[in-house]
Structure 1
Amino acid sequence: MSPSTGQPATWIFQANPAQYDIEASLRTEHAELWNLRQHASKVTMGDRVLIWISGKKSGIYAVGQVTSLPVEQLDSSTGKSYWKSTGGHQVWPRVEVRYSRVLLDRPLFRRYLEFDAALSNLTILKQARGTNFSVTPAEWEALENWLTH
């Protein structure tokens, strides 16, 4: 929850398809553990999550909700099967995210978001290195508008 509004906080969790087969995972899984390399002390149950896939076709590919508190752990056995690297075998704070919408057939591409003045300060557009990015309430409102049209 955002302390200032009492509403769920919104986060972008980024997946690198060179490290993790996120598209296969999104096609099959209804929920997954996600690494919290940044903001582990701020992410909490009920927060909204936008799943961002990096690369040439970067953008938002799913929407979900945090359904667990952060716990330092390895990835689940199912999650480990999607890793192309050793990422699942490392202990990180992780939360479960349950997907409510998967947008693989119609993602919200970065190239569109870059031209929206309301998203000009969206952290992932300015500094894409990282795994977890906070989204302001105003940015969520703009993103929600994109996602509903």
Structure 2
Amino acid sequence: MAHWLLQHNPARGACGSGDWVIRRYRDLITAGDDVALWHSGRSGGVAAVGTITEAPRDSVIVVSFARMFANRPIPREVLKADERFRDALVLRMAGGGNPFPLTPAQWQAITERIPPEHQFVAATVRGAAALAAAGATAIREAVRSVAE
């Protein structure tokens, strides 16, 4: 399982679960991978965590964010001060296209800071999304085998 970060500029409007256009790493992304939503800007930071629910098709992935905590994001400065996160690509190349890969240590730096009221919900939704992704893959394979 891989960990990804999707960046969004909140000045451009609301965002969340659904289709996301990606420019890179299409061949490395799979359903069930973890994903964090990063709000750009000086007061930005991680505003949600979730799961990629469908593997990329063309240049689109489908994401389900467990719950948004945009009203209480994990601040950029807090993550930047964490030695595990300070070399994250989103901090070094903020103008890069989505998605940004995260190392397991960078992902842990985020998940350790998820507001307590969202931790149980996040784990539950990630588990449900992983099951849904596995079911969708099984159905696709069954249909493909019948069609051949």
Matched positions, count: 115
Separation in 2, partners of 1:65, 1:44: 10
The one-letter code matched in structure 1 to 2:76 is R
Q: Which secondary structure does the structure 1 equivalent of 2:84 belong to?
A: helix
Separation in 2, partners of 1:17, 1:141: 24
Instruction: Show CA shifts across 1:88-125 (max 9, x none).
Output: xxxxx111101112111100110111111121211111
Separation in 2, partners of 1:148, 1:41: 32
1:49-60 aligned at under 5 Å gives the runs: 49-60=35-46
Q: TM-score, normalised by structure 1?
A: 0.71
1:47-126 aligned at under 5 Å gives the runs: 47-72=33-58, 93-126=59-92
Runs of 4+ in structure 1 off by over 6 angstroms are: none
The Cα of 1:141 is off from its aligned counterpart by: 1.6
Separation in 2, partners of 1:129, 1:118: 21
Separation in 1, partners of 2:5, 2:52: 12
Instruction: Show CA shifts across 1:13-62 (max 9, x none).
Output: 011234x413xx34xxxx31011111111111000110111123211111
For the pair shown, which has the larger CA radius of gyration, 1 or 2? Answer: 2
The one-letter code matched in structure 1 to 2:10 is P
Unmatched tracts of structure 1, length 5 or more? 1-7, 73-92
The one-letter code matched in structure 2 to 1:9 is A
Separation in 1, partners of 2:93, 2:77: 15
Higher RCO, Cα 8 Å, sep 6+? 1
The one-letter code matched in structure 2 to 1:21 is G
Give the percent of matched residue pairs that are identical in Structure 1 and Structure 2. Answer: 32
Task: Confirm or deny that 1:37 pairs with 2:23.
Answer: yes
Separation in 2, partners of 1:102, 1:10: 17
Instruction: Show CA shifts across 1:114-138 (max 9, x none).
Output: 1111212111111111221100111
Separation in 2, partners of 1:38, 1:121: 19
1:135 pairs with one of 74, 96, 102: 102
